[in-house]
Structure 1
Amino acid sequence: MGHGAGSPDHQRRWAPRLRIDYPEPGRHALPRRLRDDADPIAAFDDLLAQVIDQWEFTPDTAVADLSGGMDSANVALSLAQLHPGRVATGAMLLTGPYGQQQARRRAELRRAGFAEDYRLAMVDHLPFAPEGPRVRGEQFHPQEGPYAEARNLLLDRYAAAGATVVFTGLGGDEAMKLRTGETAHRPTKPRREPPLRTGHNHEPLYLGGRGRRLLAARYDDAAPIGPTLWSILDAYAALYPHYMRRGLWPINPLAAPQIVRLAESLPALWREGKRLLRGRLTRRGFSHEVAHPPLPENFQHILDLAMRRHGVRLLESLLDGGSRLVADGYLDEAELRRACHCFATTGQRTYEVYRPLILEAGLRSLHRPVRSGSAPADPAAAQPDGT
Structure 2
Amino acid sequence: MRKDKIYEDLKFSTEFSVEDWNVLIKLKLGKYFTNDSIFEENKEILRTEVINYIKFCTKTEYFKLFEKTFDISKDCIFLNRPESIRILANSFDDISNTDMKWLTNALIQPDSSNFSERDKVSYYFKAIDETLEGAFKPRFKLLDKLINFKLDQIIVDNSSFDFGKLIREFPLHIKCDFSLFLKDPLFSIPTNQWRNIAAHKSFTINTDNIVVAYGKGNIHKKTISYSDFYKIVNWTQDIYRVIRLAQVLTSLNYIEEIVEILGGTQNMNVRFEASLVHIIHNMQIVGFEFVSNDEQNETFCLNVRGKVNHDVKSSLIHASQCLDKLSRAIYNDKFIRYSFQKTKINIVNNSGDILASATISIETAIKRAQGELTLNEYLSKMEFDIKNYN
Common fold: TM-score over 0.5:
no
Larger RCO (CA under 8 A, 6+ residues apart): 1
- TM-score normalised by structure 1 residue count: 0.23
Higher share in helix: 2
Normalized per residue, which structure has more strand? 2
